Amino acid sequence: MAHTFPALGLGSDMLDPLRHPTRDFFVCDIFDALPKDDMASMEHPMFSLSTRPDKRILSYEHNGTEITVTPSVKGLATLHDKDILIYCISQLMAALNAGREISRTLTLRAHDLLVATNRETSGDGYKRLREAFERLAGTRITTNMMTGGQEVTSGFGLIESWQIVRASRGGRMVSVSVVLSEWLFRAVESKSVLTLSTDYFRLRKPLERRIYELARKHCGRQKSWRVSVEVLLKKSGSASPRRVFRKMIRDMIKADHLPGYEMSEEEGDLIRFSARGSVVEDALHLPPLSNDAIEAARALAPGMDVYVLEAEWRDFWARSGKPRLRSSDAAFVGFVKARGESER
């Protein structure tokens, strides 16, 4: 029997606030791309979940995949540092989908990166951004995992290099040039990426972000995914003992603010992740979508998880004041079409 906790909606009081509310959080007007993450680092733990300098050497092995993560003197790259890579991947995928040539070198506006990832744009925000670049460049990965259809045992940095191109008179970063690793660039070229909910950047705790990544990666085209606490602990990269980790997962189940997914605990020390479109209370005020609408959405957004799209559309409808719809099917298909056009 499954043990579920009362649904609390998306728990907006437990998420970070929208620091830049004037921008449309469903269509990223700043860089005209939805946030995207590479599937390999969503599947395997490559980032520290610590909020303090972490100078451990991390080792991971699962089903033949081996990863060793070695820190620099600045410590391991953290899951919050990964925002930079998500931003870079999103930029590259938008260019690729638009038919433009891409390269490993990107020049970014620091302010745009901070706004797109829901970060503060204060002086401290720029300082933390610089520290994140230093950790990303210094952290070394040795692995045999697949990327872009190739299995190569290699060592690399998460980014090859970075350079401040312009700085304001006060020394604040204005733009920065980033050279991505060949390994990460191959993932982009082969489109081995998945779209994330923009509420990902509002998740406060690194573990919440990591659990969301795993749910997004494994639910994929299915409505739910079951995993043991033991395997979830291993895949998360958490250093906590199993009993402490289980307590943190139960706290997440109670909080119920994982974007797009509901979590529940089942007998046998199992955790189930279910697509939120069928369980969000607000969404229940809309009728179920027809099979024709679901298939039309699949045709408009090939490779995307149609149930995640449905969950985001229902959440968007709720946030918009629950307007009366003449046709839920037409509204959903229109939403998916608009999102697809924003990526071209």
Is residue 221 within 8 Å of 305, Cβ to Cβ? yes
What is the value of pTM for the model shown?
0.73
Cβ atoms of 39 and 187 closer than 8 Å: yes
Instruction: Check whether 222 has a pLDDT greater than 60.
Output: yes
Lowest mean pLDDT among 109-118, 174-183, 283-292: 283-292
26 domain-assigned: no
Instruction: Indicate if 189 and 267 belong to the same structural domain.
Output: no
Q: Are residues 3 and 41 in the same domain?
A: no
Task: Identify whether residues 3 and 90 lie together within a single domain.
Answer: no
In a domain, 200, yes or no: no
SS3 content of the chain, % helix, strand, coil (to 5): 40, 20, 35
What's the pLDDT score for residue 298? 86
Residues 229-258 have a mean pLDDT of: 96
Mean pLDDT of 52-80: 93
Q: Is residue 23 part of a domain?
A: no
Residue 140: CB partners within 8 Å, gap ≥ 6? Answer: 69, 70, 72, 155, 156, 157
The reply to whether 266 falls in a domain is yes
**155 and 229 inside one domain:** no
Domain identity same for 188 and 329: no
- Return the pLDDT at 284: 41
pLDDT for residue 84: 95
SS3 41: helix
Question: Does the residue 189 lie in any domain?
Answer: yes
Residues 157 and 180 reside in one and the same domain: yes
d(CA 253, CA 265): 8
For residues 42 and 129, membership in a common domain is answered with yes
Q: Are residues 160 and 277 in the same domain?
A: no
Q: Name the burial class of residue 44, with classes exposed (0-12), middle (13-18) and buried (19+) by CB atoms within 10 angstroms of its CB.
A: buried
179, 51: one domain: yes
Q: Is residue 27 part of a domain?
A: no
233 three-state secondary structure: helix
| pLDDT at residue 2 tops 50 | no
104-118, 224-238, 275-289, range with greatest mean pLDDT: 224-238
Distance of CA 205 to the CA centre of its chain: 13
- Name the domain count of the chain: 2
Residue 303 structural domain: 1-15+205-344
Residue 29 lies in a domain: no
Identify whether residues 166 and 67 lie together within a single domain.
yes
pLDDT category of residue 278 using cuts at 50, 70 and 90: very low
Tell me: do 187 and 51 sit in the same domain.
yes
Residue 191 has pLDDT above 50, yes or no: yes
Last residue of a domain, one of 195, 218, 250: 195
Among residues 195, 227, 253, the one where a domain terminates is: 195
Give a yes or no: residue 164 inside a domain: yes
Token match 């995914």: residue? 225
Boundary (domain end) residue, out of 195, 226, 248? 195
Q: In sequence order, what are the residues at sequence separation of 6 or more whose Cβ sits closer than 8 angstroms to the Cβ of residue 216?
A: 37, 42, 194, 196, 197, 260, 261, 305, 308
- Asked if 171 and 209 sit in the same domain, the reply is no
